[in-house]
A and B are shown apart, each in its own frame.
Chain A
Amino acid sequence: MSDPSAPPATRPSLLDIRGLSKSFGTLKALDGVDFTLGEGEIHALLGENGAGKSTLIKVVTGVFARDAGTVRLAGREIAPRSAKDAVDAGIATVYQEVNLLPNLSVAQNLFLGRQPTRFGVVREGEMKRRARALLFDYGLDIDVGAPLSSYSVAVQHITAIARAVDLSARVLILDEPTASLDRHEVEILFSVMRKLAERGIGIVFVSHFLDQVYEICDRVTVLRNGRLIGARDIADLPRIDLIRMMLGRELAETTHERAASQPDTAREVCVSFKGFGKQGYVAPFDLELRRGEVVGLAGLLGSGRTETARLVFGAERADSGEAKIGGKAIRLNSPRDGAGFGFGYCPEERKTEGIVADLTVRENIVLALQARRGLHRPLSRREQDEIAMRYIRMLDIRPPDPERPIGLLSGGNQQKALLARWLATSPKLLVLDEPTRGIDVGAHAEIIRLVRELCEQGLALLVISSELDEIVTYSNRVVVLRDRAHVEELKGDAVEVSSILAAIAADTAPAHEAAS
């Protein structure tokens, strides 16, 4: 493994990407990424949210313009400027949400925009005949005259793939194709993928199901924070090493010393959950959150971290178990309930669930406090200004202008303003979902410092992060999740990157049983 990104000698290279970079403002979404796909290879592209997978796909398929780097397809340099350019060049993409027209028939979808015609009239019969023949190749024998929406998601996916490949694709990019498929449908999809690979088509497979990656893929490329971590043959890559590549260590800017550990029992319990869960969302769990303590939630994407956070705050309604404060059961059915008990929640999706982009920094900061005070007790403009300025100074929000629409701030400063929104309510518990995602390195270190300071001031914190080093830095306890269940709780000296990794990668036998 001297040069991990070199293609395996056996396969001629089909798609060859070198030094690809793309920035959005100050944020580097892709930073000099290399990627090589061989002919007839099924190649997994892995990474957590925000690692740069979708940006890579969008740059290669011409949705975004690249800042630097080259893309070669079969030795010829290409620079698609739209999705159509990319298709013409031979790169087709099928997204998780099938991009077809559900109200049209399967045949119409397959031949949309290139229907066989005679004297300008579409030849329905001919089109259906060809559509049938085409899908027969994929092991589907269905009525191609029926609307696409009358078929399962798997059939819709295969239709999308058949259309893409029939448009003379040499590279097929599948973005999370299995997320909404059941096991049997996944099998059908995989057999189609294998067939296509035999015909020499290179397939890029994006997924967060590691079992599936091990089942179908030849090679894997891992991205993290927009950088290439490495490319390996899947056969020589133990699962724990793969997870380490995805979550691994890199946090040069922050101090690595662990938070001083005190005996947990000395701390006052802020809120406790017993058998708390929701069917099909996250399995019932027990959790105690104490004042002056940070509890980290670790696990892969889709393991139930965000789901746990939302249940704890009340953003989602639990259907089993109970939550208690000071020994008394509480009703936790809405964010309003949560906020009423002194909980705060900074969601992962800052833009869609956090900020109100058009409103000013001041209005965004006072929002939660005002909502809690109620309509009839408005904060005067002077109080609002005071609160906004206090937190702008305390958290060093830039530019320090409370009247600026928050949408114009950088990601890191938006995150700080959202923290300020909850700090202004003097919360007892803060739930932070990926507080450092998508923000630059400087702000990253500051947020981590803040988490620790808040903890020292006696707040209870529940923090989710994909960066294990970060979690280890500030957590007193770490809860590890897998397959939407809490599987392990690490305390004291056991809070280490290696033990978290081991817990995440631990025996996945149940998943395999379900697969067979």
Chain B
Amino acid sequence: MTLRIPRRGMAQALALIIILMIDRLVSPQFFNLHLQDGRLFGSVIDVLNRGTPVALLSLGMVLVIATGGIDLSVGAVMAIAGATAASLADTHSLPVVIASALAVGLACGLWNGILVAVLRIQPIVATLILMVAGRGIAQLITEGRIVTFTSPDLVWMGNGAVLGLPTPVVIALGMLLVTAAVVRGTALGLLIEATGGNARASELSGVGTRAMILSVYVWCGLCAALAGVIAAADIMGADANNAGLWLELDAILAVVIGGTSLFGGRFSLVLAVAGALIIQAMNTGILLSGYPPELNLLVKAVVVLAVLLAQSPRLGDLSRFTARWRRTK
């Protein structure tokens, strides 16, 4: 494992370095850091900080995708959890606020998990239900308004700092470690990869595939809820319509850039987070360059295309074919 990751992650590491170099070209101060009020500032810190919600989402998404599924509802779950946290923030203590938001995420994950694992609905359709309904639920919680709050505890979740690093970054890092411990410290990782690789074979080997699938959707819901709390804390309010909008697509993209196949099977948590950072490094770079942000979408599309082409088995065949052709010539 420790030996494998560097070799597997080469492409992603290279991509991140190239994009950071380009960022450095368009913005000479990109790597500058300075400490102010006990918190580090700088473009690199921005990339980490802004990348946090997608990184958190991708931690759950990568497990879901590893089982051969997909979760389209994470953006909507972010909105629900954010709305829950925002409406409780000024009247309850921070632990209660966070526990409630996470409980909401857990319930959402359980709903998705039951639809997929127990009722065997196709994941893309099953999670589409909550994707659509979720924003409605969030609006019911906020009663159609943008709920703002002033609770310094919750604001700290979005804007505070721990040992100089922004709190969201520390939370995401902690979540990565917890997820890694849960997945790789137990047999969960192997059994998820087996389930995603061949569910029938795994079932016949005695793997409880249903429990595996259920648990990854629950975890995905929890990660999305945490991302939602951070996003709400960041803007000191909950916007049911726009919180986490389209972020499910960024999370899926991060997982794919991280080399996990949408067909399921092998996955890497670290590389999925790296994928999220690659996406954010691109976003930040374009903002810094002064080009219109609309360009962002185009650049993103080109990167996706490049990643997918690099993973395409057809292209692999083609390169082998041309290599053979050159040899015979």
* Residues on A with beta carbons closer than 8 Å to the beta carbon of B207: 336, 367, 371
Quick check: is A421 within 8 A (CB to CB) of the other chain? yes
Contact A370 B187 (CB under 8 A): yes
Contact B198 A367 (CB under 8 A): no
* Residues on B with beta carbons closer than 8 Å to the beta carbon of A158: none
Q: How far is the CA of A315 from the CA of B206 in the complex (A)?
A: 10
Q: How far is the CA of A372 from the CA of B266 in the complex (A)?
A: 21
Q: Which of B186, B194, B208 contacts A359 (CB 8 A)?
A: B194
* Residues on A with beta carbons closer than 8 Å to the beta carbon of B266: 358-359
Contact A335 B193 (CB under 8 A): no
Contact A356 B187 (CB under 8 A): no
Contact A375 B188 (CB under 8 A): yes
Quick check: is B36 within 8 A (CB to CB) of the other chain? no
Q: How far is the CA of A353 from the CA of B209 in the complex (A)?
A: 14
Contact B206 A340 (CB under 8 A): yes
From B1, B187, B266, name the one whose CB has the most chain A CB atoms within 10 angstroms.
B187
* Residues on B with beta carbons closer than 8 Å to the beta carbon of A353: 198, 200-201, 204
Q: Binding site of B, secondary structure by majority: helix, strand, loop or mixed?
A: helix
* Residues on A with beta carbons closer than 8 Å to the beta carbon of B191: 370-371, 375
Contact B1 A357 (CB under 8 A): no
Closest CB of chain A to B206's CB: distance in Å?
3
Contact B265 A378 (CB under 8 A): no
Q: Binding site of A, secondary structure by majority: helix, strand, loop or mixed?
A: helix
Quick check: is A347 within 8 A (CB to CB) of the other chain? yes
Contact B193 A363 (CB under 8 A): yes
Contact A335 B205 (CB under 8 A): yes
* Residues on A with beta carbons closer than 8 Å to the beta carbon of B95: none
Quick check: is B313 within 8 A (CB to CB) of the other chain? no
Residues A398-455 near B (CB distance < 8 A): 421
Contact B206 A338 (CB under 8 A): yes
Instruction: Tell me the nearest residue of chain A to B198, going by C-beta.
Output: A356
Residues A361-379 near B (CB distance < 8 A): 363, 366-368, 370-379
Contact B204 A367 (CB under 8 A): no
Contact B204 A347 (CB under 8 A): yes
* Residues on B with beta carbons closer than 8 Å to the beta carbon of A376: 186-187
Count A interface residues, CB 8 Å. 33
Quick check: is A144 within 8 A (CB to CB) of the other chain? no
Instruction: Tell me the nearest residue of chain B to A373, going by C-beta.
Output: B187
Closest CB of chain B to A314's CB: distance in Å?
9
Quick check: is B143 within 8 A (CB to CB) of the other chain? no
Quick check: is A355 within 8 A (CB to CB) of the other chain? yes
Q: How far is the CA of A136 from the CA of B202 in the complex (A)?
A: 50
**B 1-12 binary contact with A (CB < 8 Å = 1; else 0):** 100000000000
Contact B265 A375 (CB under 8 A): no
Known: A363-B193, A370-B191. A381 touches B204 (CB 8 A): no
* Residues on B with beta carbons closer than 8 Å to the beta carbon of A345: 204
* Residues on A with beta carbons closer than 8 Å to the beta carbon of B265: 356, 358-359
Q: How far is the CA of A367 from the CA of B205 in the complex (A)?
A: 7
Contact B198 A371 (CB under 8 A): no
Contact A378 B206 (CB under 8 A): no
Instruction: Tell me the nearest residue of chain B to A377, going by C-beta.
Output: B187
Quick check: is B185 within 8 A (CB to CB) of the other chain? yes
Residues A310-366 near B (CB distance < 8 A): 313, 315, 335-336, 338-340, 345, 347, 352-359, 363, 366
Quick check: is B99 within 8 A (CB to CB) of the other chain? no
Q: How far is the CA of A63 from the CA of B64 in the complex (A)?
A: 36
Q: Which of A356, A366, A381 contacts B1 (CB 8 A)?
A: A381
* Residues on B with beta carbons closer than 8 Å to the beta carbon of A313: 204
Q: Which of A354, A375, A381 contacts B201 (CB 8 A)?
A: A354
Closest CB of chain A to B215's CB: distance in Å?
9
Contact A352 B200 (CB under 8 A): yes
Residues B230-262 near A (CB distance < 8 A): none
Quick check: is B162 within 8 A (CB to CB) of the other chain? no
* Residues on A with beta carbons closer than 8 Å to the beta carbon of B204: 313, 315, 335, 345, 347, 353-354
Instruction: Tell me the nearest residue of chain A to B188, going by C-beta.
Output: A375
Contact B197 A356 (CB under 8 A): yes
Q: How far is the CA of A367 from the CA of B193 in the complex (A)?
A: 11
Closest CB of chain B to A430's CB: distance in Å?
13
Contact A375 B202 (CB under 8 A): no
* Residues on A with beta carbons closer than 8 Å to the beta carbon of B208: 336, 371
Q: How far is the CA of A379 from the CA of B197 in the complex (A)?
A: 20
Closest CB of chain B to A433's CB: distance in Å?
11
Contact A359 B193 (CB under 8 A): yes
Contact A367 B202 (CB under 8 A): yes
Quick check: is B153 within 8 A (CB to CB) of the other chain? no
Q: How far is the CA of A340 from the CA of B206 in the complex (A)?
A: 8
Residues of B within 8 A of A (CB): 1, 185-188, 190-191, 193-194, 197-198, 200-208, 265-266
Task: Provide 23 A-B residue pairs closer than 8 Å at the C-beta atoms, listed in order of the A residue.
Answer: A335-B203, A339-B206, A345-B204, A352-B201, A353-B198, A353-B200, A354-B201, A355-B201, A356-B194, A356-B265, A358-B197, A358-B266, A359-B193, A359-B266, A363-B190, A366-B190, A368-B206, A370-B190, A371-B191, A371-B206, A373-B187, A375-B186, A421-B205
* 5 smallest beta-carbon distances between A and B, as pairs: A339-B206, A356-B197, A378-B187, A371-B206, A371-B207
